[in-house]
Structure formats: C-alpha cells, structure tokens
C-alpha cells in the first residue's frame, strides 16, 4: 500500500470541503452522538456502549469494526468533553502477553516506532497484553464531518499499513 502523507489528506479534505456546494457546519460543542452521525455519514455502522472506567466512572464510547486491507479493526471512540478531546483507538491491535519471551524485545522495537510516529501512538496494557494504536484529536474549536472522516481514514490507513510489519517482527522475535 502506498503511503499518503497526512498533509496530502488534509489538503484534499480542505479542497473537497471548499468545492462542496453545501458545506457541512462545524459542530460545537462536540458530542458523542454528533460523532456517531459522522460515522454513519461515512457509511460505517457503530454502537454506543456504556462501560465502567478504571476508577468506577461510567464511560460512554463508540464501538465499531472497520475492515482494512490487512485486517478488521475494532475501533473505539471516546469523548473527553471537559478537555475537548476525542480519543480514537484500535483495540487489541496486537496481543503481547508478558509471559511471551518475544514481548520485551517487541516492546523495545515498538517504543522506537512510537518515537518515530507523528500520527498515532502505541499503548500496551501489561495486565491484558493488549496493544492499542491510538491518537487524540483536540476538538475545542468544534469539528466537521469532513475533518472527522479524514482523521478516521488516516488512523485506519496508518494502522493497516503498519500491521503486517508488526506481525512479521513479532513472528521473527518468537522464532528467535
């Protein structure tokens, strides 16, 4: 898959938005329901699920599955309205249990990858072994469907592009 720089995606999105006969309005304040509407406009289905957070708080989030060229990704979207940030992540991107001898060298490799990324980051949960690919989007000035669509496409495309490399690296470390 050919890598498209994020700036090209943003420029294309702005060009499309400017050429559109009926530009979408910017939504502010951003709500999870508005983001759900954006997702539906993009042709994806989603659920709004309620879970209990780490400190016992009730958390509403969007859950959906999106298919890329290299896999199907379980995507979560959470809104932190008090700080105007959308947190978008891919759950269970890889499984890296601590007892696996390849986990520590793989995490070392992934830390290096994290430092090189300008979009997206990798998060590892030691207790479950889950690796997430995530990014946060400030929405303090609102958001439009076009911007959200470009953002969601970018996170899926980048995760999908990197996925085979990470799987091969992990397999090589297991065989090592």
Compute the distance between CA of residue 96 and CA of residue 63 in angstroms, rounded to an integer. 22
What digits encode the pLDDT tens for the residues 13-60?
544 444 444 556 788 889 999 999 999 999 999 999 998 888 898 999
- State the CB neighbour count (10 A cutoff) for residue 81: 13
* pLDDT for the residue 24: 63
Confidence of residue 74 (pLDDT cuts 50, 70, 90): very high
Average pLDDT score over residue span 54-81? 93
Q: Which domains does the chain have, with CATH numbers?
A: 6-175 (3.30.1460.70)
Compute the distance between CA of residue 24 and CA of residue 38 in angstroms, rounded to an integer. 11
Compute the distance between CA of residue 133 and CA of residue 154 in angstroms, rounded to an integer. 12
Structure tokens at 137: 């989007």
What digits encode the pLDDT tens for the residues 124-176?
998 999 999 999 988 888 888 888 888 898 899 999 999 999 999 999 998 76
* pLDDT for the residue 7: 46
pLDDT higher than threshold 70 for residue 83: yes
Mean pLDDT, all residues of the chain:
84
What digits encode the pLDDT tens for the residues 95-131?
999 899 899 899 888 887 876 778 889 999 989 999 9
* pLDDT for the residue 25: 77
* pLDDT for the residue 123: 92
* pLDDT for the residue 114: 79
Q: What percent of the chain has pLDDT over 70?
A: 85
Compute the distance between CA of residue 5 and CA of residue 161 in angstroms, rounded to an integer. 13
């Amino acid at each position: 898959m050919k890598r498209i720089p994020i700036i090209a995606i943003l420029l294309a999105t702005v060009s499309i938005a400017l050429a559109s006969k009926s530009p979408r309005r910017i939504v502010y304040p951003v709500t999870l329901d508005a983001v759900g509407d954006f997702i539906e406009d993009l042709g994806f289905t989603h659920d709004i699920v309620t879970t209990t957070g780490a400190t016992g708080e009730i958390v509403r989030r969007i859950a959906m599955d999106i298919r890329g060229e290299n896999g199907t990704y379980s995507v979560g979207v959470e809104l932190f309205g008090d700080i105007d940030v959308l947190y978008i992540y891919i759950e269970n991107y890889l499984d890296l249990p601590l007892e696996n001898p390849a986990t520590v060298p793989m995490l070392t490799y992934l830390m290096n990858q994290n430092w090189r990324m300008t979009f997206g980051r990798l998060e590892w949960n030691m207790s479950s072994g889950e690796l997430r690919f995530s990014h946060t989007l400030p929405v303090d000035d609102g958001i439009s469907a076009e911007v959200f669509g470009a953002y969601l496409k970018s996170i899926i495309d980048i995760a999908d592009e990197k996925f085979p490399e990470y799987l091969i690296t992990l397999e090589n470390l297991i065989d090592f």
